[in-house]
Structure 1
Amino acid sequence: MSCTSVERVTHRLTRDEARRIAVRAQLLDADRPGDVVEVAEQLGYVKIDPTATIAPCEHTVLWSRIGWSYEPGQLQKVVEVDRLLFEFDGAFRPMSVLPLMMPAMQQWPQRESSRQWLEANARFKADVLARLRAEGPLLASDIPDTAQVDRAPDGWSGKNQVPHMLDFLSRQGLVAIVGREGRHRRWDLAERVYPQDLPEIAPEEAERRLAERRLQAVGIAKHRSAWSRVGEAGEPAKVEGSSWTFRVDPEAIAALRRDDDGGRVAFLNPYDPMLVDRPRLSEVFGFDYVLEQFKPANERVYGYFAHPILMGDRFVGMLDAELDKKNGVVRVNAVHEFLPFDDEEHDIVRSEIAELGEWLGVPVAGLP
């Protein structure tokens, strides 16, 4: 359904309502989720990233939702023991989305250069699959590189072609990650990792349902957004003061009419899914977020890996902090306030920093 004309707009929202929808969809309101699986089911994925000034992304994303009761071992258990989540393409995903992803896996790759590389390395592919079948699960380093044709260096990986082949085979749904040893992935045949009774879903239906899941995760997104990829999911909406046409989750609209328990403070990892859609952050929240990780030190305003501070439904500042393992403290370098905090806001932020230290099991140094 096209929603380019004003007459077809189903919902008209204030900016406050749009922000509340987005915050609730990301489980950042006062009503905290109960466990890791609930978070993954709602968000659709939990990104994995090793940058750990405070803690790795996957753990800070979960802590910022669940709070003090979250422990890193809970994530490992639901992935490696319970098999309720699976790792794919740099994120932990709920097993419920796997049937929706399978049609695209079965058609991968679409890019001609990737097809040519796989065809040229047919023997190498067979070698990897045979090794996993006979000896798996294995680390990439346990598998010999028998590639006939190398991929061009990409600046991220070395000359060894095994990681490339494993990545390709995972995208085809032939191999899967069973767990990790530190930051190293352990691989096996997908048939020994994924459930074997998955429903078969037509590609068009799978993509439609994936778009609905993406909209569920963000609550509200620009129509045809390349960032949120919600397609035609949900219903058309306008937000006061914005020329955009949005798509909004009908269940999120219904939730606006329920009692509001208010907001809370959350420190968001720079790779948190709430921050992915930069244009929406600017349009709806008035927050022009720039990750300074890759900027020269003398050009940084807030810090190498500063965490945006969400208070209620507004971004109010940036937390520049790091886990100092040598001295066993969380070191707060700065709390940057976009507008000066009042006394209550100062207390709320200080309390959340103290809880961060308790979660990490170390005292806080430099608490403002």
Structure 2
Amino acid sequence: MTHRLTRDQARRIIVRAQLLDANRPGDVVEVAEQLGYIKIDPTATIAPCEHTVLWSRIGWSYEGGQLQKAVEDDRLLFEFDGAFRPLSVLPLMLPAMRRWPERDASKQWLEANEDFAREVVARLDGEGPLLASQIPDTARVSRTPDGWSGSNQVPTMLDFLLRQGRVAIAGREGRHRRWDLAERVYPSDLPDYDDEEAAQLLEERMLQAAGIVRPHSWWNGVGKSTGEAATVEGSSWRFRVDPEALAALDERDEGGRVAFLNPYDSLLFDRARLKELFGFEYVLEQFKPQAQRRYGFFAHPILIGDRFVGMLDAATDREREVLRIAAVHEFLPLEPEEHDMVRAEIAELAEWLGVGVADADPR
């Protein structure tokens, strides 16, 4: 059976799946469990990505210390591949981690540096947790710097050992990661899944976070057999939809709200889906020359309900303790009530940041 959805229904499914509807989640772990991951990025025009992602869902009651507590004290989240993830997905990732690496170049580098790997593990065993800077580089073979990593091979080795499940990130000191043995960071009583079962469960989690997607095993991790088939009015795409999200369409809609989305927010990841279902052609202008920017270096898309209505170009000025509003770009003229909603959300954002507002009138 193929479900036939309206565009409004499809967008409502996505917004609810991303916890951006009127019913806000209660805490950090609830957000991570639903979204599957919380992206980490240091670009802090307003605030770092991991914090704005959580604030846009939880709202004024979110404090940065709650994330650190969930990761380092409660161990309900873990850091992997540039994101904080719920512990419940770790067992689903372990089979692939045990197979890693599959690329010949990575295998060859690890084989050439077996002694280096043993030394890193031994140092963590005896002295951990440690920063990468506290571990000597004894690599026999170096990888060519790729623009993201330098000549020091320790971060690369730690990343490789992380992907194999041998080491883990125990916490952070500022933006610097503290490393330890995986057995001292991850629980010892995790469920054990075979490759096929783990892959299927992981696909289901990815569809749960997305709500509805055009299946693509690499791009969104969802295959053609996961979820249920669906079409959306006006689109030629063939979708897969989360059955629970589909059933929830019968529930009362509490209405929408305003959300400012960090440019690395997971809702924005699938640009093709944004254009197809929301009519929003999103371009991150961070890496464009200034003369080619239309909305700003790190402008945050503005969502009202299930519509993208504009872009917020703002920056936190910590020295003067204000949130500076360079512009609120409206795609179409906002209604007076919508102006008031955006203005109120800017005020709440500034209050959460602990600063005032400069030039905050979105008109």
Tell me the TM-score range normalised by the shorter chain: over 0.9
* Identical amino acids, percent of aligned pairs: 74
Matched positions, count: 360
Pairs within 5 Å for 1:309-328: 309-328=302-321
Q: Which residue of 2 aligns with 1:4?
A: none
Q: Which residue of 2 aligns with 1:228?
A: 220
Partner of residue 70 from structure 1, selected from 41, 62, 71 = 62
Q: Which residue of 2 aligns with 1:276?
A: 269
Q: What is the DSSP-based 3-state SS (H/G/I as helix, E as strand, rest coil) of the residue aligned with 1:241?
A: coil
Whether 2:121 is the aligned partner of 1:124: answer no
Matched to 1:215, the amino acid is: L
Q: CA deviation at 1:325?
A: 1.1
Q: CA deviation at 1:340?
A: 0.3
Partner of residue 184 from structure 1, selected from 176, 179, 204 = 176
Partner of residue 72 from structure 2, selected from 65, 68, 80 = 80
Matched to 1:275, the amino acid is: L
Quote the RMSD (CA, aligned, Å): 0.7
Q: CA deviation at 1:225?
A: 5.9
Matched to 2:233, the amino acid is: E
Partner of residue 37 from structure 2, selected from 24, 45, 58 = 45
Matched to 1:316, the amino acid is: V
Q: Which residue of 1 aligns with 2:205?
A: 213
Q: What do the CA deviations read for 1:291-311 (whole angstroms, capped 9, x no partner)?
A: 000000000000000000000
Determine the C-alpha separation between the residues in 1 that align with 2:59 and 2:32: 15
Matched to 2:202, the amino acid is: L
In structure 2, the gaps of 5 or more residues are: none
Determine the C-alpha separation between the residues in 2 that align with 1:313 and 1:209: 28
TM (norm. structure 2) is 0.98
Q: Which residue of 2 aligns with 1:285?
A: 278
Matched to 2:242, the amino acid is: D
Q: Which residue of 2 aligns with 1:139?
A: 131
Q: What do the CA deviations read for 1:36-85 (whole angstroms, capped 9, x no partner)?
A: 00000000000000000000000000000000000000000000000000
Partner of residue 361 from structure 1, selected from 354, 357, 360 = 354
Matched to 2:338, the amino acid is: E
Determine the C-alpha separation between the residues in 2 that align with 1:115 and 1:105: 13
Q: Which residue of 2 aligns with 1:112?
A: 104
Pairs within 5 Å for 1:334-353: 334-353=327-346
Moved over 2 A (4+): 223-227
Pairs within 5 Å for 1:88-99: 88-99=80-91
Matched to 2:112, the amino acid is: A
Equivalent residues of 1:227, 1:276 under 8 A apart: no
Q: What is the DSSP-based 3-state SS (H/G/I as helix, E as strand, rest coil) of the residue aligned with 1:204?
A: helix
Partner of residue 293 from structure 2, selected from 297, 300, 303 = 300
Matched to 1:351, the amino acid is: A
TM (norm. structure 1) is 0.97
Q: Which residue of 2 aligns with 1:5?
A: none
Determine the C-alpha separation between the residues in 2 that align with 1:109 and 1:258: 45
Q: What do the CA deviations read for 1:118-162 (whole angstroms, capped 9, x no partner)?
A: 000000000000000000000000000000000011011111100
Equivalent residues of 1:214, 1:229 under 8 A apart: yes
Whether 2:268 is the aligned partner of 1:260: answer no
Matched to 1:315, the amino acid is: F
Matched to 1:220, the amino acid is: I
Equivalent residues of 1:145, 1:161 under 8 A apart: yes
Pairs within 5 Å for 1:232-247: 232-247=225-240
